Structure 1
Amino acid sequence: MEYSRLLLLVGLMSSVPARPADFWCHRQARKNLERSIEGLSDDLVTCVGADTLPSPVQLPCVQLHATEWANTTLHHKRAEVLGALRLLLDGVQGARTRSRSSCQTSLLGRLERHITNYVAIVGGVHIRSVTTAPPGGAVQNCSSVSSTGSVLKQYGNLLRGKLERLAVDLRDLVCRAERGRRTAREGAADGGNHRANAGTDECYHDNMTHTRRDALWKDNNNKKDKHKLLTLKVKTRHS
């Protein structure tokens, strides 16, 4: 169990973009993450018997209706995509634990880690909304299948369809917030440098003040010494 958790953690670290904002702000980052599942279809062909799942997997409905999507809130869109991902994840996890084929178990484990990556990314987006999610959740179940190939196909349709449209809809919101955070960090850094420079200037001013004071004190003492010497000479002359 601990070993499998370690593998899951390594998979997450190596696949998820360095910053979640990169996923939402850059199409190439999303394509790179999506491309990492291409090898699963190839391995499915070479893994004998891997296409037959030990238990059915419930598939979410991923068909996208443009008009309906356009009239849906961002909060509901995110809930719909996240619910579809979690439904797939639950089904794949259940099939993996029941599988008796090492080849199929490995393949389903890779798919599980890949879906978990997306759950972390989509679940990490915070959208302020005055409305609540509709009763019963946003995800719709379409059918259950016992074919790994069918699961991969539906998963790919979800990534290229609703998830990509969600990314397009969230891009301005997420990227604007990221720019604001970056500007704030740069402002804080500039403020720190300004305070450091101000402290240096203050120390320099204090040092100059002490230097001038010492110079005035020495000059004043020199004047006193000269006055004493002149007085002594006058007294000597009169005596």
Structure 2
Amino acid sequence: MALSRLLLLCMLASEVRYAETKPIDFVCSRSARRAMNIGTEMETALNNCNSSAILPAPVQIPCTELHVASWERKSHHERRQDISASLKPLLESIKVARSLDQAECGSVLLQKLEHNINSYLLILTHLQLSDQKGPVESSELSCVPRSTLSLSTVLLNYRRLITGKLERLMMSLESTCAPQRQDEHQ
């Protein structure tokens, strides 16, 4: 019980630092992106949970496959849509799993993951892209959706999405950062 409360306190405290991140800060600062990527931290927290890593409902895992040549041909807008199209169904299925009765530790992890996904979606929505034609629209997934009951599989695929597609999008946008701003945030 004490471990669960400590875990909850640490997770809530870490959320505060993400609240101040602006899209431009996120793009221009690799350290801000590393700080917001909680995948490894959550995998470690899951290993410290005494509860089962089995979710009460299936969760759709994000599309992480990345064919570099075809990814590079996509516009920034298309890349953002691809990432958002993976995050939105993940978020919705996590909300469903979290609403069902489960162990406290697993529920705290799902809540933390839900907040983190929402933060990424807000950043993606508010990114100023030079090739943008309008707001992020619904887009098709770049893979056939799969679901799992394993929280560790969800976390692994989420981490792959963030360190793969999302990081590649941010790196391609770094050229829009002012030189002094890049130096301040790296």
Specify if TM > 0.5.
Answer: yes
Q: Which residue of 2 aligns with 1:68?
A: 70
Q: How big is the shift at 1:136? A: 6.7
Partner AA of 1:160 in structure 2: T
Partner AA of 2:53 in structure 1: D
Identity %: 30
SS at match of 1:82: helix
- Over 3 Å counting, the alpha-carbon distance change for 1:39 and 1:128 in structure 2 is closer
Partner AA of 2:44 in structure 1: D
Q: Which has the higher contact order (CA 8 A, sep 6+)?
A: 2
SS at match of 1:56: strand
The answer to whether 1:166 aligns with 2:169 is: yes
Q: Which residue of 1 aligns with 2:89?
A: 87
Q: Partners in 1 of 2:60 and 2:173 — Cα distance?
A: 28
Q: Which residue of 1 aligns with 2:17?
A: 14
Contact 2:27/2:173, CA 8 A, preserved across alignment: yes
Contact 2:54/2:151, CA 8 A, preserved across alignment: yes
TM-score (norm 1): 0.62
Q: Which residue of 2 aligns with 1:46?
A: 48
- Over 3 Å counting, the alpha-carbon distance change for 1:14 and 1:130 in structure 2 is closer
Correspondence list, 1:1-239, <5 A:
12-34=15-37, 36-129=38-131, 137-140=139-142, 141-173=144-176, 175=177
Partner AA of 1:164 in structure 2: E
| Structure 1 or 2: more helix by fraction | 1
CA root-mean-square deviation: 2.7
Structure 2: 5+ residue stretches without partners: 1-10, 182-186
SS at match of 1:137: coil
SS at match of 1:54: strand
Runs of 4+ in 1 over 4 A off after TM superposition: 8-12, 130-133
Aligned residues: 168
Structure 1: 5+ residue stretches without partners: 1-7, 180-239
Alignment deviations for residues 192-234 of structure 1 (CA, whole Å, 9 cap, x no partner): xxxxxxxxxxxxxxxxxxxxxxxxxxxxxxxxxxxxxxxxxxx
SS at match of 2:145: strand
| Structure showing greater Rg | 1
Q: How big is the shift at 1:81? A: 1.0
- Over 3 Å counting, the alpha-carbon distance change for 1:144 and 1:71 in structure 2 is same
Partner AA of 2:30 in structure 1: R
